[in-house]
Structure 1
């Protein structure tokens, strides 16, 4: 749920225009609903200063989103009903502006996974809350949700991790391949490059870009 406006949503009928009902109703079942211990084999993808993040297209209209901080991790299976990767990039980009709090939501069909990012000097406090039904909870107060994961990390670590993960998606699938899998939304090139520009200009990041 971005502060700048409502996130686009789509009806059940709109989904069936794109893919068969049996495709989008069958979703991966390995969703972590509570923090679990990090194992060595889980380490990889985008790893920066004990913050790890990955975004993988896991089927037609689904993406697997993982975040972990070296001790606990969280995973969601995100639906294409919203422009989820663009919302993530915009939310992190907002941390470079005048507003210290950014919010956005992922549609888990039917649940809502709401991310709240609170900038505190050079750090960001990350909170992920879950609501049972996004169609009724989209404007609900944060406190009505169930806390699923929280961590505080440097802003530069979060921005870099998200940038690397998004760039890996583009490198793996290409922009045409991304649209074929995500269906309703093109790859968020503008949002990616905007975040990259702000991150490089404002953060003292020594990692490779």
Structure 2
């Protein structure tokens, strides 16, 4: 199983974000526009996985390109697959896989929470709204944090 996954969410301009996704094997940069609820979708997809769903999805629109995240769960493990699509309405089989990884559900939740905690600390919620054009995804972030807190597995040392 891989480790060291990191997600960085950088507000690149009015209504645009650059999202860097990396682990020890690969690094990709994705773009998202505020025309969809990309941060809320991403946090909600991970929350659903933590809650026990076996598959969840999120999508970033980069006008016209899209990035589709698919999360799979088996037991305490998660598989993440990111596809680049020419158009957001395209079927998965028309996409190109640009990143994939396997890690524990706990690590995935922790990585996502850390990412958005860093965003809140860097921009502040009003600064985030000013640059992104929408409210900071506080509701979705706290839902993930609460659910993850009740489903954590003890860490072995």
Contact 1:93 1:195 in 2 (8 A): yes
Structure 1 residue runs without a partner (length 5+): 1-47
Match of 1:175 in 2: 125
Runs of 4+ more than 4 Å apart? none
- For normalisation by structure 2, the TM-score amounts to 0.91
Tell me whether 171-180 or 86-95 shows the greater mean CA deviation: 171-180
Match of 1:64 among 3, 18, 24: 18
Match of 1:191 in 2: 140
Matched ranges for 1:89-128 at <5 A: 89-128=43-82
Greater strand proportion: 2
Are 1:131 and 2:85 an aligned pair?
Answer: yes
Are 1:151 and 2:101 an aligned pair?
Answer: yes
Q: Report the count of equivalent residues.
A: 154
Q: What is the Cα deviation at residue 52 of structure 1?
A: 1.4
Contact 1:156 1:205 in 2 (8 A): no
Deviation string 1:44-88 (CA, Å, 9 cap, x unpaired) is xxxx94211111112111111111111111111211111111111
Match of 1:78 in 2: 32
Q: What is the Cα deviation at residue 205 of structure 1?
A: 6.2
Structure of greater Rg: 1
Are 1:204 and 2:153 an aligned pair?
Answer: yes
Match of 2:115 in 1: 165
RMSD over aligned Cα atoms: 1.6
Structure 2 residue runs without a partner (length 5+): none
Match of 1:87 in 2: 41
Contact 2:60 2:66 in 1 (8 A): yes
Contact 2:54 2:74 in 1 (8 A): yes
Contact 1:102 1:116 in 2 (8 A): yes
